[in-house]
Structure 1
Amino acid sequence: MSSVSLRDVAALAGVSVGSVSNVLNRPGSVSASVSERVQSAIDSLGYVRNDAARQLRAGQSRCIGLVVLDIGNPFFSDLARGAERRATEEGLTVLLGDTEEDPARERVYIDLFAEQRVFGLLVSPLGGAMNRLRDLKKRGLSTVLVDWQTEGDRFSSVTVDNVAGGYLAVNHLIENGHRRIAFVGGPHSIRQVSDRFTGARNAIAQHPGATLEVIDTESLTVLQGRQAGERISQRKASARPDAIFAANDLLALGVLQAFNLSGRVSVPNDIALIGYDDIDFASTAMVSLSSVRQPSAEIGRTAVELLLRQVAGGAGFEPERIVFQPELVVRDSTSALR
């Protein structure tokens, strides 16, 4: 590790140590000529900033902790990308924690980021971490809930109306003539899953004769979707649903794979299929997948915006709750009942 100091950089550039600090931390406050001389000296000496020492002095880092349910889900990848781009504009860095839908991993990441004295937290919680987040909030750690909202707590949040999204999906299936509908998803302890299921039930309740079967999964992965699809395809044709609403696109793609591999079920001729999130793979699947679109990158960007406003507002900041509306995207997998 380089032992070059700020004084060495200042001496070579012919400026004060304060000017070097300004170039590194407040570049807009120094002239272009001074900035060029300092940067030339940094490059020549190979200076590397001791960020740990700077954070110790400031009492806070320039990093944002982002905790998500599953980075393998393209929805969260896009969300993280949106958050990272907005953070970069403010000279902040995003550190990612993937809980893999595991409460123990969730607690570890939240505590780790708190110990690192991060600038703030963006968390898509499983639910069990809320007490810990409340405690950290009382201690001054700014936190924004992502893809999640809670009524009783004073947390800022940014999410999508998942109840409305579930309603859109199932109402679309019903309008296309389907009546025996299955909901594939789980665990229901995940708020997004339970909200989408609630929306599905709301749509069913408005249409006499329509039914909703629940097919639980252990997680929201392609593999779990494939296993659910295999179980459905093994039934007699008369015992199968005529349409499926999957809690996310990964599950829907797994169901579609299982049907194609079995050769016993055709989408949409035998069973219509709709997912949720509208990830990139949805439009390029072997049968293009209908889905409910969420503005994933915009959710990430907005979460950083809320965090910046919260930090700037301090103790007097009033929490903000931003709810995006979902959008139905219709493709080949939900063609009208034939």
Structure 2
Amino acid sequence: MTLRKKATIRDVAAAAGVSIATVSKYVNGQQSFTRPVEEKLRLAIEALGYSQNPAARSMVTGRTAAIGLAVMDISNPHYANVVKGANRVALANGYNLLVVDMEESIAWARQRLEALVLRTDGLIVSSRIPKDVVDWLAELDKPVAFLGQPERSDVVTVGMDSIEVASLLAGYIVQQGFTRVGYVGYPRAAWNAERLLGLHRVFDAAGVQLMEFDAEEPTSEAGERVAARILLRADRPQAVIGCNDLVAIGLMAEARALGFRIPEDVAFAGIDNIPTSRYVWPSLTTVDVCSEATGEVVLKQIMSMIEGHPPASDLKLEPLLVVRDSARGMADVRTPSHRDPSQPS
């Protein structure tokens, strides 16, 4: 069996009856030609099966056709969906998406990002990184956008208003008649303080007591670990909000293990609307932060910036309340025969 020789740019030029320079300008998008010339080039490339060496293309255009995306934890479904949305747009536009998992650690953030800088035309980075790294990224001669708002206002950000997200959920909790609510936050994240502000604005105005607790990390396991401290106290909350769906799902799992009925004994809600939130029992009330759409929007923004266009001024997405069974109101679920599992029978 004789292997077919790989077609070269010289072969394409000969088949199309044009110069090598014309072929190079065409395949690299450096110049437009008349329709008949472009048609001859297209047919020659297809007939010969010509494909350009990415390294050679990079040398000609100064571009890598790659975009970097650094997320805090790829195992978190929220970030996985951001990647999914971004990758969909990247593939449709001829870009490769290079993903870096920060693994919920900021200690090596700059070192990991430096490797991406050399291999990409633009960067998308989670805002939950040290300020000095944000400053370094902001000064790069390369398009950079952040997922969320870092400690710097003059950078491109894509995401949601965390105050609005929390306020939307708090308004529903108030409507359900709960008067003592717990929030399990993650203080290391910048959005945590903003979500607390949104919760307090609504709850304080409605006379609802907000009890604040912290999770060690934004995971289901962390939610499980903190649950007993919240639920086995004399003044336990009537409803508990997790800082994300993973924490809320962990809280719910441990609550059932402790003998609590959901939502009869205690209600739960989360934030993110990850796919799993629909299928846990009972299904989780949450706020959809449009993870896939966020990935799509930020990738389109980076591509636009790579092409030399100024960034859009408003890249905020609108949150959506998703009402399910885990946070039904007190009037709907309380019965005279209710027994408090934290009290002896």
Normalised by the length of structure 2, the TM-score is 0.83
How far is 1:204 from its partner?
Answer: 2.1
SS of the residue aligned with 1:121?
strand
* 1:333 pairs with 2:326: yes
Write the distance in 2 (CA, Å) between the matches of 1:218 and 1:28: 56
Give the partner amino acid of 2:148: D
The 1:335/1:162 distance shift into structure 2, 3 A limit, reads same
User: What number of residue pairs does the alignment pair up?
Assistant: 323
- CA shift for structure 1 position 41: 2.2
Supply the distance in 1 between the matched residues of 2:150 and 2:128 (Cα, whole angstroms): 12
> Does 2:41 correspond to 1:40?
no
3-state SS of 2:225 partner: helix
Task: Name the stretch that deviates more: 89-98 or 304-313.
Answer: 304-313
Structure 1 or 2, whichever has the larger Rg, is 2
Is 1:99 the counterpart of 2:99? The answer is no
Distance 1:14 1:312 in 2: 29
Secondary structure of 2:250's counterpart equals: helix
Q: How do 1:34-183 residues align onto structure 2 when only pairs under 5 Å count?
A: 34-42=41-49, 49-116=52-119, 118-128=120-130, 130-148=131-149, 152-183=152-183
Residue 203 of structure 1 deviates from its aligned partner by 1.9
Whether the 8 Å CA contact 1:162–1:326 is kept in 2: the answer is: no
Q: What corresponds to 1:239 in structure 2?
A: 235
Question: Is residue 248 from structure 1 mapped to residue 244 from structure 2 by the alignment?
Answer: yes
Letter in 2 for 1:174: V
Q: Does the CA contact (< 8 Å) of 2:124 and 2:298 recur in 1?
A: yes
Alpha-carbon separation, structure 2, partners of 1:69 and 1:251: 16
Alpha-carbon offset, residue 248 of structure 1: 0.5
Match of 2:286 among 286, 291, 295: 291
Kindly indicate whether the alpha-carbon contact (under 8 Å) linking 1:218 and 1:224 is maintained by their aligned counterparts in 2. Answer: yes
Whole-angstrom CA distance in 1 between matches of 2:44 and 2:60:
26
Asked whether the equivalents of residues 276 and 291 of structure 1 are also in contact (C-alpha less than 8 Å), the reply is: yes
RMSD of aligned alpha carbons: 2.7
State the identity as a percent.
25
SS of residue matched to 1:298: helix
Q: 2:296 maps to which residue?
A: 301
5+ unaligned residues in a row in structure 2: which ranges?
335-345
Determine if contact 2:285/2:322 at 8 Å carries over to the other structure: yes
Give the AA of the match of 2:213. Answer: I
Unmatched 5+ stretches in structure 1: none
Report SS of the residue matched to 2:104: coil
CA separation of 1:67/1:270 partners in 2, compared to 1, >3 Å: closer, same or farther?
same
The verdict on how the C-alpha distance between 1:243 and 1:108 changes in structure 2, with shifts beyond 3 A counting, is same
- Quote how far apart the aligned CAs of 1:218 are: 1.5
Structure with higher helix content: 1
